[in-house]
Amino acid sequence: MALWTQKPIKGVLLDITGVLYESGNGGGNAINGSISAVLELNKLGIPVRFCTNETQCTRRKLVKKLHELGFSMEESHVFPPIPAMCQILKKRDLRPHTLVSSAAMEDLSEIDCSNPNCVVIGDATTELSYENLNRAFQMLIAMENPILFSLGKGKYYKDAGELCLDVGCYMKALEYACDIQAEVVGKPSSNFFNAALEDMGVEASETVMIGDDIVNDVGGAQACGMRGVLVRTGKFRPQDEQHSQVTPDGIVDNLAQAVKFIIESKN
């Protein structure tokens, strides 16, 4: 397959949910072959970073859960949106009104949230009630220059076997309500991918991103100059293989198959 051999693969970015494990009750389950696939990349000496739009818990808890499922990775190799968001807020001197899962608030604890001059929304599930979204709207519409950050722009994710509305839908609702455009922090933002590439010290053209989100993982990586590979796990749906806007560089059954191809390309 040309994808794997057209240029050496010197770095790999992995989505987490739907690629490493399937979420579900009791923390979910590792996807068959994913634990050893990550170990094999390590053995090959290929740097790996984990790019996730997960905002339903802190990075620390997320890594702890992955360790419990059997994965091994350093916490600093996991890139969720909230630490990136904190950097932006500090740099631009912004104080957010946050609509983020309360379980993830710890990662925002260093941020001044008094007298807000922007709104940050994340994948907050049941906390995205009418009342809470309405409050975020009222804050925005009262601002002279409304600033909305969205931690990702996914349409839906899969949880316990069911597709569920993701933060992107609520971003669209607030964009429409206030006639504004949100700034996306997380995939598919190129700043977000580039931070992980820089951390690996690998060029985009020598990196493959593997994910289950055709638009945000695959399309987002391609827009940054990476190769984008779609897995048939997680929220993958058969119609993704004929997507109107994104054509993956490769489609594989799962992460294990992707890593098998990477190993074969080295020989």
Instruction: Give the residues lining the site for a copy of itself (CB under 8 A).
Output: 124-131, 133-134, 137-138, 141, 155-156, 162-166, 168-170, 172-179
Contact between 23 and 62 (Cβ < 8 Å): no
Run of H or E residues at 197: helix 190-200
What secondary structure letter does DSSP report for 187?
T
Which of 101, 233 has the CB closer to a copy of itself?
A: 101
Please report how close the Cβ of residue 232 comes to a copy of itself at its closest, in angstroms: 18
Cβ 133 to a copy of itself shortest distance, Å: 6
CA-wise closest residue to 136 among 104, 182, 81: 182
In whole angstroms, give the CA distance from residue 206 to residue 225: 9
CB of residue 38 to a copy of itself, shortest distance in Å: 31
Q: Which one, 40 or 127, has the nearer CB to a copy of itself?
A: 127
Closer CB to a copy of itself, 101 or 222, in the complex = 101
CB of 193 to a copy of itself, least distance (A): 22
Smallest gap from residue 72 Cβ to a copy of itself (A) = 34
Cβ neighbours of residue 2 under 8 Å, at least 6 residues apart? none
Euclidean distance between CA atoms 82 and 60, whole angstroms: 12
Report the Cα 25 to chain-centroid distance in Å: 21
Contacts (Cβ under 8 Å, ≥6 apart) of 233: 18, 19, 22, 31, 212, 253, 254, 255
Nearer to a copy of itself, 59 or 97 (CB): 97
SS3 state of residue 140: helix
Distance CA(37)–CA(41), nearest Å, equals: 6
Nearer to a copy of itself, 137 or 261 (CB): 137
Least separation in angstroms between residue 115's CB and a copy of itself is 19
Pick the closer one to a copy of itself by CB: 54 or 166.
Answer: 166
